[in-house]
Structures are given as structure tokens and as C-alpha cells.
Homo-oligomer: A and B are copies of this chain.
Amino acid sequence: MNAAPTLAPMLRKLRLWVSLDAPQEQALLDLPHTVVALEKQRVIVREGDDVTHAWLVLSGYCVRFKYVGSGARQIVSIHMKGDLVDLQNALLGVADHSVQTLTACKMATLPIEHIRHLSDTDPMIKDALWFDTLVDGSIHREWVGNVGRRDATTRVAHLLCEFALKLDAIGLDQHDYELPMTQDQLADATGLTSVHVNRVLQSLETEGLIERVTARSVLIGDWKRLAAAGDFHRDYLHLDTIKRRHEYR
């Protein structure tokens, strides 16, 4: 009885973009890698670093972020099991942003040259990885709009919805979850202060949109109303299959 292959969580999303046959999946699973257990709040890539590995989240949660001149921090994305964090940095060679764990994480590091080699030999796999980075781009665009044009309550609600939907995509309960972030980190993700995030969460609770048993637990009572409050529309996550229309000849 074999355990599931270590890199198996990576396949879920890639299967959404292209149809992979068994040898292709095996080639991906066979990518050389090292598994690392990381404690929470650990910075694993720093802006400016030369990057030679991509990181795959096996368990736990992490974020990508940038500092601005004033010293303030902006989180640009949140990642969970199955996410290839930092493929972007690795491909561009030098990190334009940093990566940090939120919780304790198990992660695999994949040397970029092997990813490159595999994607060069199999165009389908290159497409899958390309699409993965394209969807990341789409999420970035949504975030620009979120922090640029939505008020505090909407921003926070939007983030709660995005997180819920991503949890659902990996098979976890989207209606009752534990936020892996402090209110400080929530603030860094939404472009607010932790004080204001605190007040927003309370107001979402008194409005009956969420319940919080502990400070970080989120129980979504009415998804429809929360999504409306968060101006949330799932399309930008491209969670649904986009198989290649174009066939090779």
C-alpha cells in the first residue's frame, strides 16, 4: 500500500487547465524535490534574492508580499495546499516579492531547472504551468481593484470569500473555517490597519454575515449575503476547467 505521492497536491489545479495523461502526471510527480517542514511566520524568500527553486505548499498556509518605502507591508496573495508559490520568481530568476509562511507548513522545493526541462520536453505541461501563472495574474488584478476601489468592509468580506472558495477547491469546509492570519496580516492584505480590520470583523458579525467562536474562526452564515457584501464574483479565480481548445498536429 503506497502512500499518495508527495507532489500529488500539485496536480489538482494543473488538471483544470490541460488534460494530462498518466505518463505526464507521473513525470510531474517524479520532479526532483526536497520536502521541508517550516515553522509559522518564517520568511522563505526575500525580495531581491536570486531564486533557483519553486515552492509547492503541501500543508499549511503562506503569503507573498512586498514592502513599500514607508516600511509598510502589502500582502499580494495567500496560498494553500497545492499552490505552486513562487514559480514566477523562479522563472524570472530574481524575486520581485517575498514569501512567508503563516502557519507551520510542509513544503516541497523544486529546482527550477528541472521544472524547465520538463516543461520544455512537454508543451502540455508548459501550458499547464503557464496557465497557473495566468490565473495568479487574474487574482492580482482583482486585488488591485479590491484595495484600490472598495471600502474597508467590502475588502475584508471579499478576502473572506476568496479564502472560502479556495478552501472549497481543495476540499475543505468553506462555510466554517479558521483564518490562518492575525488581524495585522489581514490588514496587510487589505491595505488597512489592524484596528480597523478588527472593527470591520465585528461589524460583519453584528450584521450576521459571519460568526466567530474564537477571534480567528469564521463561520459563514449566509454565503449569498457575504458575497454580496464583499462584491465577490468567483470568475476571476478561474476555478473551472479551461481545457486547451487547440490540438497539436
- Picked from B72, B126, B144, the residue with its CB within 8 Å of the CB of A143 is B144
* Smallest beta-carbon distance A177→chain B, Å: 24
In the complex, which residues of chain B have a beta carbon less than 8 angstroms from the beta carbon of A236?
A: 96
Interface of A is mostly: helix
Task: Let me know if A120 and B123 touch, CB within 8 A.
Answer: yes
* Smallest beta-carbon distance A73→chain B, Å: 7
Count of A residues near B, CB < 8 Å?
54
Is A116 at the interface (CB under 8 A from chain B)? yes
- Picked from B73, B91, B116, B145, the residue with its CB within 8 Å of the CB of A134 is B91
- Scan residues 51-91 of chain A and give those whose CB is less than 8 A from a CB of chain B: 64, 66, 68-70, 72-74, 76, 88, 91
Give the complex CA separation of A117 and B151 in angstroms. 44
Give the complex CA separation of A76 and B148 in angstroms. 10
Decide yes or no: A72 and B120 within 8 Å by CB, A91-B134, A92-B138, A144-B144 being known contacts: no
Task: Let me know if A74 and B144 touch, CB within 8 A.
Answer: yes
Give the complex CA separation of A248 and B121 in angstroms. 9
- Picked from B48, B76, B190, the residue with its CB within 8 Å of the CB of A141 is B76
